[in-house]
Copies of this chain bind each other. A is one copy, B any other.
Amino acid sequence: MDKKTQIIEIATKLFSENGFENTSISRVCEASNVSKGLVFHHFKSKDGLLREIFSVTTKKIIEMNESINDEQKPMDRLYDLINSFFIQIKSDKLFFQLNLNVMTQPKTRELLNDLIKERSTFILTSVKQIFNQINTENAEIISYLFIAELDGIALNYLGIFDNYPLEQIKEQLIKKYIKNGI
């Protein structure tokens, strides 16, 4: 494998597990069997490495979204969205962990500000599109609330509550958004 890609992958894992500030470049080098010089050859700084990681992740999110965007009915797309969110949050905890981590730390949030804006705009637009097609009143505000709900669930599940009843919460969400008319 390309060593540059390898550095990105290992760094993503370590940043997720230990947090960005608590992961030194030396540890990344150790874990990926690469010299310190090489990291700074490929990335202009530790901050630059994080930016690249965040960009790569955003690309993945966009690709994933495009692959789902079939010609389904909007209600089914919403259902799929909720389902895939809960699947992801269970299987890829670290990914969510890292994103929460960098978005809630003042320094990294500043560093990634433009990339965060770019990503969140994309997500808002996608969700709003669905609610618009469902013909929801107040689609924009409902979209904001929907995103807040998912983010809040991720936050509470990953960082706050023990024995978080994910499955029941998912059912409740589906009931709320799919079965009732919001």
Q: Which residues of A contact B (CB under 8 A)?
A: 17-19, 21-22, 97, 100-101, 103-107, 109, 116-117, 120, 124, 138, 140-142, 144-145, 147-153, 155-156, 158-162, 164-165, 168-169, 172-173
Given A120-B161, A138-B172, A142-B172: A155 and B104 within 8 A (CB)?
Answer: yes
Kindly provide the distance from the CB of A60 to the nearest chain B CB, expressed in whole angstroms: 18
Q: Are B148 and A155 in contact, with the CB atoms below 8 A?
A: yes
Complex A-B: 24 CB contacts under 8 Å: A19-B107, A21-B22, A97-B104, A100-B155, A103-B159, A104-B158, A109-B159, A116-B159, A117-B162, A138-B168, A141-B165, A141-B172, A142-B172, A144-B156, A144-B161, A145-B149, A145-B169, A147-B152, A148-B156, A148-B169, A149-B152, A151-B155, A152-B152, A152-B153
Chain copies in complex: 2
Of chain B, the residue at the smallest CB distance from A18 is: B106
A165–B145 CA distance with the chains assembled, in angstroms? 10
Kindly provide the distance from the CB of A18 to the nearest chain B CB, expressed in whole angstroms: 6
From B22, B152, B153, B156, A106 is in contact (CB under 8 Å) with B22
A49–B173 CA distance with the chains assembled, in angstroms? 39
Residues of B within 8 Å of A22, CB to CB, are 21, 105-107
Residues of B within 8 Å of A147, CB to CB, are 152, 156
Residues of B within 8 Å of A148, CB to CB, are 149, 152-153, 155-156, 169
